[in-house]
Amino acid sequence: MAPSAPERSRYLDIYTRMTRIHRSDERFRRMLLGGQLAIAYYSPRGQELLSAALMAAVRQDDYLVTTYRGIHDQLAKGIPVRDLWAEFAGKATGTCKGKGGPMHITHPETGVMVTTGIVGSGLPIANGLAWASMLKGEDRVTVCCFGDGATNIGAFHEALNMASVWKLPVVFVCQNNRYAEKTKFADGTACATISDRAIGYGLEAIRIDGNDADAMYDAAARAVAKARAGDGPSLIEAMTFRFMGHSFGDPGEYIPKEEYAAFLAIDPVPAYRQKLLDLQIGEQELGAIDAQILAELEDAVTYALESPYAGEDEILKDVLDVEITPAISGETPFQIEEVA
Amino acid sequence: MAPSAPERSRYLDIYTRMTRIHRSDERFRRMLLGGQLAIAYYSPRGQELLSAALMAAVRQDDYLVTTYRGIHDQLAKGIPVRDLWAEFAGKATGTCKGKGGPMHITHPETGVMVTTGIVGSGLPIANGLAWASMLKGEDRVTVCCFGDGATNIGAFHEALNMASVWKLPVVFVCQNNRYAEKTKFADGTACATISDRAIGYGLEAIRIDGNDADAMYDAAARAVAKARAGDGPSLIEAMTFRFMGHSFGDPGEYIPKEEYAAFLAIDPVPAYRQKLLDLQIGEQELGAIDAQILAELEDAVTYALESPYAGEDEILKDVLDVEITPAISGETPFQIEEVA
Amino acid sequence: MSTGTTTEAPKMISTLQAVNQALDEAMANDERVIVFGEDVADPQGGGVFKTSKGLSTKYGDHRVRSTPIAEQAIVGAAVGAALAGMRPVAEIMLMNFITVAMDQLVNHAAKLRFMSGGQSSVPLTIRTIAGAGRGNGGQHSDMLEAWLAHVPGLKVVTASNPADAKGLLLSCIEDDNPCIFIEHIMGFQQKGVAPPPGHRVPLGKAAIAREGHDITVVSYGKAVNDVLAVAAALDPAISVEVIDLRTIAPFDEQAILESVGKTGRCLIVHEAIKAFGVGAEIAARVQEKLWGRLKAPVGRVGSKYAAVPFAPPLEKAFLYSQLEIQGAIQRLMAA
Amino acid sequence: MSTGTTTEAPKMISTLQAVNQALDEAMANDERVIVFGEDVADPQGGGVFKTSKGLSTKYGDHRVRSTPIAEQAIVGAAVGAALAGMRPVAEIMLMNFITVAMDQLVNHAAKLRFMSGGQSSVPLTIRTIAGAGRGNGGQHSDMLEAWLAHVPGLKVVTASNPADAKGLLLSCIEDDNPCIFIEHIMGFQQKGVAPPPGHRVPLGKAAIAREGHDITVVSYGKAVNDVLAVAAALDPAISVEVIDLRTIAPFDEQAILESVGKTGRCLIVHEAIKAFGVGAEIAARVQEKLWGRLKAPVGRVGSKYAAVPFAPPLEKAFLYSQLEIQGAIQRLMAA
Ligand SMILES: Cc1ncc(C[n+]2csc(CCOP(=O)(O)OP(=O)(O)O)c2C)c(N)n1
Ligand SMILES: Cc1ncc(C[n+]2csc(CCOP(=O)(O)OP(=O)(O)O)c2C)c(N)n1
Ligand SMILES: [Mg+2]
Ligand SMILES: [Mg+2]
């Protein structure tokens, strides 16, 4: 059955977001392999569709808090590819002038408020953002993404409890990719599913196949609508898989071959494309999106590589709201004489 | 029906522990009121029987980790009244030479390993003690007591998860007295019962009336036996009530009068005495225990008040395993000249 | 109302009232100000020390909230709310409890402005109560300001009297940087002249609490009062200039250097232990920047290298004393 | 085996191997030693930096355990196990993550001996990896040793070369006090002469890494190597004595005072930011205890007052440099 017009446009929207993530990630890894970039990189390969469908259910002015493995969330949320690439390359034209880097992307224009490198620390901050929206009478929702391993740290617990007691407009999304670094889910986590923890917070929870775009979109849309209506937080456990190990260079020997193969067979990226083809959305239309994204990406890569780094005086800026002087830092400026 | 001989002796054992706690607490408060002592004091009034029954199910060489509201646990575990009183009075003869004080009682001889003043922090330490027993091949169990409010802090979560993944021989006992300082259970805690949280840790949990000695004893005995057998941790939520506010001087205006009255009507201390009388354990026998405990207490009070304080040189001791010298502390010894 | 010539006794307030008034005024002035922490709302007594008493009744329980016992969630909520443009004022009941929330303060509050390339601003205030003297023992009495001072991006502030407490706390709340405001547990009942309405004390500026010409004693918080008492006792034999730092980090280097440049002698006094404390940084800078102009080494007085003991005589032995301050001044005068 | 007269090249090891060997020997020597942390067991790769590779295979997964991501639980387990007589060696993957576990370290590990009146002993070791230079950005690069040094009851230790890393880590594990052993992220591949079996480096004792008579430079960890490079470059124009602190707290005051007493000049160099850093304490003590015997003020070199930036040129600008060390030495020589 052919999709309705709104469905169709949503599918294409999700496809576009997914492809943008997919191509960016692919290109990053190629450049890392080729030595054109040298950064710690946490590939979202396998989690692209999850993020694309999730963010399709969210407004651009909704807040997002995510993690080091966040490029899929950031692109899906709408950060322009150029700005993100430039930040990954550390350039002055990046979202954060190169001062934050990939692990610390902030882009308030698209609602990306915090990217944290500290496991679990985003959740308490998401509460604060959501509380502020509530106090201001805005109907903004805060989406907070984190991994399965993050659910074992204290901040997760404190935040979910507070969000629930205070009925904050937050949607907590656990992207359960079954591994935390090299530790298998069950070796670090004492419950069968993360959703099992929700009852301990009086929270509505749903566990879905995050790689099923419809399931992901529906769950997100429901949770977002609930939060927007003032009915409090939800927890979504979105099951997924990461194909590229924890970080670039991790060969993933700890993943059983059969497990890997089984997930590869249902890789969401080609599957979603095929699904759209099956739904009579033509190769031509998808191809046009692909081409546009590749062009956008080429432009972004060039922009990132050719942009300058910020000047060293940036060290003195943005530490406080005033520039740092020697009287603040205790520095002793002195002349350096070269030695033969 | 009259109790069996072992039951009878257990009842008397529990009665003795309960009475020792009850009389000590009463006497403390009297001395605080009279100004003979001036310390921050967290009365266990209302929780005496819980602790007495719990510790009756535990061996003296089992470990205990408890909190600032710990005097009932410490006495029930077996710390001699003299030593405890002397520590509460800050004296050199106290369990910790007066260096720790009421909030930091340690008494390894009776298994009291840590008393913490930091909410929730005892749980991770309990895991370490239990893990050590496991590694040494001992069948020692670690009992860890904490309040309902403590279940909202991160350490609780991290510890329960780790204990469960590692199948550690710990019995976690939440003494749910329905208030955390002045905050009602439901105002800080998003779940209906603490036991609801256990599923999130794959933990066996039981919620009982902690003021029912049989229920408390049975739950503890089962959990202890399970841990001792190597079958892992349990969580006991023991419902109770505290009659004296959070700390000495707290009039407890935040407790609804009806709630207070309802609990007072079922005050476990007189109720347990009555129960034993009903079970044909004679007034005479109980009276002898009462008298013995009052004598023991008089002795302890005198001992505590008459003991000397430790000398000031204790400041330099027990910081490290060697005495602190000026070269370590950066002190500059100098002569103090009196000024007219 | 005064009818004319007679001078009225100045109105006095306690530090407790000063803190309470500062919170009240901040909330009245700016609806972005929100106050939260454990038991801070009126149904829970308005804070264990009553610093927020009356506020939830006056401003509503949406703006003044008691929280679960969850310091990471508390500081995290402050970070998030600040990022979204609010002016959160969170209470960490005792400074030792900040040890469970250092991540939010250090990795997030302090760094988000920098890491975002200036896009984010985190105008939060954390109020926390610290200090020994009440027999609260090892886990409830620490002064940890040196840790926070070592974190670029944080301001660390404390007051020695009620008027400053009010003026500094208001400045913290109005400041665009994350500020930690430390209240001494023994100082709440201290009385002082009530400041006029609208009173502010600027951050980053020290006060000359007493003028003198023989030696400069730099201190902050409650200890300033001990220093002033010693200075008065030594007068006129030794003329002690007392600098009240007010902002511990980043501190007012210029004020210190000017004073020590004049007196030629410097002693730093604080309650925290001496080793690796705030006094070390001040001493290190003074000896460097006033090289050749000092008449004595820079001295320090702090508490002993130990956990805070429980027993009263041991706690007293742990704490720095007026006698030690006096001895240190005399030693430096004799150098 | 050598057949006689020819001298063999000394066997070299990396710091990574040194740490691994120290853990291995400690486990072989004493079955109370247990090793745990995130991903430290072999099925998880033997640690993200491979420092514990091979150990779980060799000693069994009861003694070498990968943990959940839960630093409070990790340090707490170390505290509890140590109290019960084990010798836990826990890894906190990166030093910034210690911010979520400060309570266990500071309120418990450091204080339990004191608060128990000497009944408890907490012989734990926390290994943690720290430092900038790899583009890991603001939340993965901090050096926070000054916080820990400010806590009575803790020992803080770091090494500048593989042999010391092995000898110091073994000493930490065998020490009856809680020890924090800091490994620099950029130092794992550093090569050095392999120490003989049984090698120990005592805690609390500094090393003279280079003798000299014009100026003493005190440093620790990776920075010692930068100081040595500068010292070599300045030779023979300036004769630099280099002290490698090894134990940061409590540090070897005597070694510093003896050296500076001889040279009359002192510079402290560390990677942590300068303000309120370890250098401040050393400077404060040296200027006081060697009053009148210094030829120049005590100088300090540290990294900039900022979060650690991501972009390579900014990270470089953040970090202290050999050029700055050299400049500081020259300035002090000219004072
Ligand atoms: C507090 C803290 N501890 C440890 C780490 C190191 N670390 C980085 S990512 C990671 C694994 C997180 O796993 P998960 O939450 O499942 O997210 P994923 O990487 O799978 O997306 C760990 C342990 C950290 N960054 N912060
Ligand atoms: C980390 C931390 N935060 C706050 C406090 C202050 N505090 C002491 S007791 C307490 C309430 C604890 O309530 P609960 O766990 O229910 O135990 P109860 O006192 O009822 O026995 C609080 C908030 C603390 N000691 N530690
Ligand atoms: Mg994961
Ligand atoms: Mg309670």
Could you report the per-residue pLDDT of B220-270, keeping only the tens digit for each?
Answer: 999 999 999 999 999 999 999 999 999 999 999 999 999 999 999 999 999
| Ligand 1 center from residue A119 Cα (angstroms) | 5
**Amino acid, single-letter form, for residue B330:** G
**Angle, helix C162-174 to helix C15-29, in steps of 10 degrees:** 30
Cβ atoms of residues C189 and C16 within 8 Å: yes
What percent of chain B shows pLDDT beyond 70? 97
Average pLDDT over residues C190-203: 96
Cβ atoms of residues B65 and B125 within 8 Å: yes
How would residue C2 be classed by pLDDT, with cut points 50, 70 and 90? very low
Could you report the per-residue pLDDT of D261-304, keeping only the tens digit for each?
Answer: 999 999 999 999 999 999 999 999 999 999 999 999 999 999 99
How would residue C139 be classed by pLDDT, with cut points 50, 70 and 90? very high
Could you report the per-residue pLDDT of A153-199, keeping only the tens digit for each?
Answer: 999 999 999 999 999 999 999 999 999 999 999 999 999 999 999 99
pLDDT for residue D39: 98
**Amino acid, single-letter form, for residue A277:** L
**Residue B333 above 80 pLDDT?**
no
φ and ψ of D142, to 5 deg: -75, 150
Residue B243 CA to residue C44 CA, distance in Å, equals: 17
**Residue B4 above 60 pLDDT?**
yes
Sort out which chain B residues have CB atoms less than 8 A from C136's CB and list them. Answer: 40, 103
Mean pLDDT, all residues of chain A: 96
Q: Which residues contact B113 (CB under 8 A, 6 or more apart)?
A: B63, B64, B65, B106, B125, B129, D80, D83, D84, D120
How would residue D335 be classed by pLDDT, with cut points 50, 70 and 90? confident
Residue A115 CA to residue A101 CA, distance in Å, equals: 10
**Residue B336 above 70 pLDDT?**
no
Are A90 and D318 a contacting pair at CB < 8 A?
A: no
Residue D22 CA to residue D52 CA, distance in Å, equals: 10
Nearest CA-CA distance, residue C158 and chain D, Å = 17
* Interface with chain D: mutation pick from C71, C145, C268, C281, highest number of D CBs within 10 Å: C281
How would residue A20 be classed by pLDDT, with cut points 50, 70 and 90? very high
- Give the ligand whose atoms come closest to the C-alpha of residue C136: 2
- Host H or E run for residue D208: strand D207-210
Average pLDDT over residues B273-288: 96
Lookup: tokens for B22: 């009850």
Average pLDDT over residues D126-138: 97
How would residue B340 be classed by pLDDT, with cut points 50, 70 and 90? very low
D256 part of contact set with chain C, CB < 8 Å: no
Beta bridge partners of residue A176, listed in sequence order: A239
pLDDT for residue C5: 55
Lookup: tokens for D309: 């930036």
Report DSSP letters for B135-163, one per residue.
HHT----EEEEEESGGGGSHHHHHHHHHH
What is the ipTM metric for this complex? Answer: 0.97
**Which stretches of C175-277 are DSSP H helices?**
223-234, 253-263
Angle at A290 between CA A287 and CA A294, to 5 degrees: 140
Report DSSP letters for A90-133, one per residue.
T-TTSTTTTSS-GGG--BGGGTEEEEESSTTTHHHHHHHHHHHH
Q: Which position has the token pair 């130990």?
A: C306
User: Which residue's CA lies nearest to atom 10 of ligand 1?
Assistant: A181
| Ligand 2 center from residue D311 Cα (angstroms) | 44
DSSP state of A199: G
Mean pLDDT, all residues of chain C: 96
Mean pLDDT, all residues of chain D: 96
Are D250 and B329 a contacting pair at CB < 8 A?
A: yes
- Give the ligand whose atoms come closest to the C-alpha of residue C128: 2
Cβ atoms of residues D304 and D254 within 8 Å: no
Could you report the per-residue pLDDT of D190-218, keeping only the tens digit for each?
Answer: 999 999 989 999 999 999 999 999 999 99
Catalytic residue among D140, D184, D199, D270: D140
- Give the ligand whose atoms come closest to the C-alpha of residue D71: 1
Could you report the per-residue pLDDT of A235-255, keeping only the tens digit for each?
Answer: 999 999 999 999 999 999 999
Q: Which among B104, B154, B182 has CB closest to C39?
A: B182
pLDDT for residue B169: 98
3-state SS, residue B35: coil
pLDDT for residue B2: 81
Choose which residue among C69, C72, C102 to substitute to test ligand 2 binding: the one with the highest number of ligand atoms within 8 A of its C-beta: C69
C322 part of contact set with chain B, CB < 8 Å: no
Are D280 and C283 a contacting pair at CB < 8 A?
A: yes
Residue D329 CA to residue D335 CA, distance in Å, equals: 10
Q: Which residues contact A274 (CB under 8 A, 6 or more apart)?
A: none
Are B161 and A189 a contacting pair at CB < 8 A?
A: yes
Which protein residues touch ligand 2 with a CB less than 6 Å away? B 69, 117-119, 146-150, 177, 179-181, 246; C 38, 69, 71, 93, 97, 100
Sort out which chain B residues have CB atoms less than 8 A from D115's CB and list them. Answer: 96, 99-101, 104, 106
What percent of chain C shows pLDDT beyond 70? 98
Q: Which residues contact B24 (CB under 8 A, 6 or more apart)?
A: B71, B75, B81, B84, B85, B297, B300
Nearest CA-CA distance, residue B321 and chain D, Å = 7
- pTM greater than the 0.80 cutoff: yes
Are D250 and B327 a contacting pair at CB < 8 A?
A: yes
Q: Which residues contact C277 (CB under 8 A, 6 or more apart)?
A: C146, C270, C300, C302, D150
Are C153 and A319 a contacting pair at CB < 8 A?
A: yes
D137 lines ligand 1 (CB under 6 A): no
pLDDT for residue C260: 98
Cβ atoms of residues D121 and B106 within 8 Å: no
Residue B206 CA to residue B203 CA, distance in Å, equals: 10
